[in-house]
Amino acid sequence: MVSPWFSIVVPTTCDLILIKPPTVLQLERELFDKLGNEGELIVVRDQWGNANTARNVGIAAARGIAICVMDDDINLDCKRLLELLSVVRDDKNVFFISLDPHFIVINREMLLKVGGYDERFKPCMGDDVELMLRLERMGLKKVFIQRQDLKVEHLQHPRDRSRRYQLNQKHLTWAYLEHRYLPLRKLIWRKNPLEVARRVKWVLEWLLYRRYQRRSILSKR
């Protein structure tokens, strides 16, 4: 049996027995019906309340040389996606990433080597940033993909934007702290004392998370 050369991992909260996510339907129709056994589509239902865990489960099961991880609520240009996968198949030292939506195309071996997604992060922009910083530290070349390049269309829009913004800021603080991307003073200092207190709390939370919570099912840490 010939192994697929690419894998696409899609985490979802949908009940897969009752409904397929729109991203999955598009991929099946426009990509997998035409390519047959060249690729595999891995859809992981999030049973953990954390899409990053679902992503890592899919990554662990994938067999392709090139792998793409994406959200389940978008339409995109499948032809362009295949081009990106082909580039990564031929050059394992480059990866393509878009922070909105969650989207990465990368060599599977390198993604496993770096330990996949950090499961201490709830799904938000910060988890992609943290992964990107780890990959860059390994020496991989980052290429940002813009929404228009992939012709991305979001089919759902997040609710409670203020809470999502706070979660973004919290996770970015964690990522920058972990990788020493910014000095601690810049991470914490704000003109509003309440905002300073909030960021000090985030720093202390991260120190506890680092010590007591597992980073990833793909990592020994």
pLDDT for the residue 202? 94
Q: Are 201 and 173 in contact (CB under 8 A)?
A: no
pLDDT confidence band for 214 (50 / 70 / 90): confident
For the cut 70, the answer to whether the pLDDT of residue 15 exceeds it is yes
Determine the distance from the C-alpha atom of residue 185 to the mean position of all C-alpha atoms in its chain, rounded to a whole number.
28
133 Cβ neighbours under 8 A, 6+ residues apart: 175, 178, 179, 181
Q: Which tens digits make up the pLDDT trace of 62-81?
A: 999 999 999 999 999 999 99
For the cut 80, the answer to whether the pLDDT of residue 157 exceeds it is no
For the cut 90, the answer to whether the pLDDT of residue 162 exceeds it is no
pLDDT for the residue 164? 79
Determine the distance from the C-alpha atom of residue 211 to the mean position of all C-alpha atoms in its chain, rounded to a whole number.
23
pLDDT confidence band for 16 (50 / 70 / 90): confident
Helix residue ranges, H only, 16-142: 22-27, 33-35, 51-61, 78-90, 108-114, 125-137
Q: Are 42 and 58 in contact (CB under 8 A)?
A: yes
Domains of the chain in start order, with CATH, are 6-156 (3.90.550.10)
The DSSP H or E segment spanning 41 is: strand 39-45
Q: What is the mean pLDDT of residues 3-32?
A: 91
**Which one has a higher pLDDT value, 6 or 124?**
6
pLDDT for the residue 212? 85
For the cut 60, the answer to whether the pLDDT of residue 26 exceeds it is yes
Three-class secondary structure of residue 12 per DSSP: strand
DSSP 59: H
Helix residue ranges, H only, the chain: 22-27, 33-35, 51-61, 78-90, 108-114, 125-137, 147-150, 161-178, 184-188, 193-212
pLDDT for the residue 220? 61
For the cut 80, the answer to whether the pLDDT of residue 123 exceeds it is no
pTM: 0.90
pLDDT for the residue 41? 96
- Percent of the chain past pLDDT 70, that is, above it, reads 96
| Closest listed residue to residue 178, CA positions, set 217, 221, 141, 123 | 221
Q: What is the mean pLDDT of residues 97-102?
A: 86
d(CA 148, CA 184): 35
Which span out of 1-15, 25-39, 127-141, 205-219 was modeled with the highest average pLDDT? 127-141
pLDDT for the residue 160? 64
